[in-house]
Amino acid sequence: MNRDALLFVAVFLACAVEGVEAVTIVLATGLTRGWRSTWIGVASALATLAVIVALLGPALTALPIGVLRLVVGGLLLVFGLQWLRKAILRAAGLKARHDEAALFADEVRAAQVAGRAAEGLDPYGFAVSFKGVLLEGLEVAFIVVTFGSNQHNVPLAVLAAGAAIVLVVIAGALARAPLSRVPENTLKFAVGVLLTAFGTFWAVEGAGAHWPAGDGAIVALILVYLLTSLLLVAVGRPRTVAVSV
Amino acid sequence: MNPVRRVAAFLFDFIVGDDPLMFSVVCVGLAATGIVAALGVASWWLLPMSVLVALVVSVLRVRSRAETAE
């Protein structure tokens, strides 16, 4: 698998995960508070994200490649490592798993008790959908911009992100319920490994070192991080087992 | 919380995350990679090694805390 194909897979999976979380918030808000204000919130957040990507993408690609790889690779590495750490802790039972159905129920409960405006735009519906899409979307924008600029292929990263978002939105629209059957924790595990591997690869190149196997080092990094993570899931489980009565 | 503090807290959470030690180990590994590479010595292995050490230590610390809490 070449670097572009890996880039597509990494961005697609990362954006699908973030998309599922955003869809949960939007569905809970829209079904409870009405769709008009929710859609205005979603559209405003998407416009804000488009401006961020349009400004940051070209600005980053204008940087010298060494600086770009050092800074962006380093950021991608620490960001990916956080995802991977959380995924390992969840898989090992050291952290609660992400539960879209529970999140959906929480959002619906909060939306039901919030006050309503007499007429016009519903500030609660707007604010919750705007904030939800913007915050989840910022991670998507970060991944798109970092992968795209480092690989000098922002359009491919945007395409991968767009494909993931369209797929998740269609699934959410058809289900009209939280996408709790999406194996979100497993996807986050895979994305964490990919982001950490790409981040390491670019950061090392940016620091002035050279990989002995060239692009092949990315695959080697993915394998090493994956195996170590699986091992950590096995040894990370607490030795004392809680017994339910 | 004022807006500046809120943005700073968001950026800290976004970049550093839950484990500042893990973040620090990776930063030291990256700096060491650059310094050793500038001396003309192969240093590509330093960062992956730092990442693995940081990850293992971080997960085992959480496990240790969980076991102590039980």
User: Considering only CA atoms, which of A190, A199, A167, A213 is closest in space to residue A14?
Assistant: A190
Q: Does B20 touch chain A (CB under 8 A)?
A: no
Contact A164, A16 (CB under 8 A): yes
pLDDT for position A117: 63
Residue at A242 is within a domain? no
- CB spacing of B51 vs A242 below 8 angstroms: no
Backbone phi, psi, residue B45, to 5°: -80, -15
B38 neighbourhood in chain A, CB within 8 Å: 208
C-alpha to C-alpha distance for A113 and A122, rounded to whole angstroms:
14
pLDDT for position A202: 92
Residue at A245 is within a domain? no
Q: Does A219 touch chain B (CB under 8 A)?
A: no
Residue at A190 is within a domain? yes
Residues A66-93 have a mean pLDDT of 90
- Mutant choice from B51, B57, B61, B67 vs A, greatest count of A C-beta within 10 A: B51
Instruction: Quickly count: other Cβ atoms within 10 Å of residue A141's Cβ.
Output: 22
Q: What mean pLDDT is reported for chain B?
A: 90
Residues A49-62 have a mean pLDDT of 80
Smallest Cα distance from A74 to chain B, Å: 8
Q: Tell me how many domains chain A contains.
A: 1
For A199-238, write each residue's pLDDT tens digit.
Answer: 999 999 999 999 998 888 999 999 999 999 999 999 888 7
Question: Which comes out higher in pLDDT, residue A56 or A131?
Answer: A131
Residue at A75 is within a domain? yes
Residue at A129 is within a domain? yes
Q: Residue A231's domain spans which residues?
A: 3-236
Q: Find the CB nearest B33 among A204, A229, A237.
A: A204
DSSP state of A183: -
pLDDT at A72 over 90: no
Residue at A244 is within a domain? no
For A82-109, write each residue's pLDDT tens digit.
Answer: 989 999 999 998 888 777 777 778 878 8
Kindly give the residue spans of alpha helices, DSSP state H, lying in A34-153: 35-61, 65-91, 100-113, 123-150
